[in-house]
Amino acid sequence: MSKLTFSSLKSEFKKIKINRLLFIIFALGIFGQVQQFLITGFRFSDGIHIFTAASDDAFWHTSLIAQLVRRFPPFEPGLVNVGVHNYHYWSNLVVAELIRVFGLPILATQFQYMYLLVSFLLGGIAYVLARALKFSSIGVIVLFILIILLQM
């Protein structure tokens, strides 16, 4: 097994040919999927604005993430010493761990970073799947367009 160095890694990345059209579709797809959420959670002069269809749910999830950053298992947001039972908070746990480990801000992580990450991972999985199934270049592009249209 050869030694992994920065120059060997750089030469491996140069071997990957990036189809410009595929990259443009990928970038536009990510932007199209996250653009409606990008201004959510910013602090303005009149307060914090939450632009989602279920803003009350967004506040609850933000509180749950704050609880998970501090302790596990979390308390029910808004209640004292009542644990969260029978609720699927796995996605909240992932966000909370990113915040706890890397010291990220809660609102930006929940409302901006995670949407970008999930959209990027969806496109990456689609690309890897298409290559593993030996799709042609046109097939990969069609798959990307379908995934973008299904997610919007």
Sign of CA dihedral 94, 96, 97, 99: positive
Contact predicate 113/96, CB 8 Å? no
Return the closest-CA partner of residue 137 out of 25, 29, 12: 25
For 16-26, how does the pLDDT look when each residue is reduced to its tens digit (9 = 90+)?
A: 555 677 777 77
Range with lowest mean pLDDT among 3-7, 20-24, 77-81, 110-114: 3-7
What pTM, to 2 d.p., does this model score?
0.67
For 53-104, how does the pLDDT look when each residue is reduced to its tens digit (9 = 90+)?
A: 656 677 778 888 888 888 888 888 777 778 777 778 788 888 898 898 888 8
Extents of the domains making up the chain: 18-151
Structure tokens at 149: 């249209």
The pLDDT value recorded for residue 6 is 65
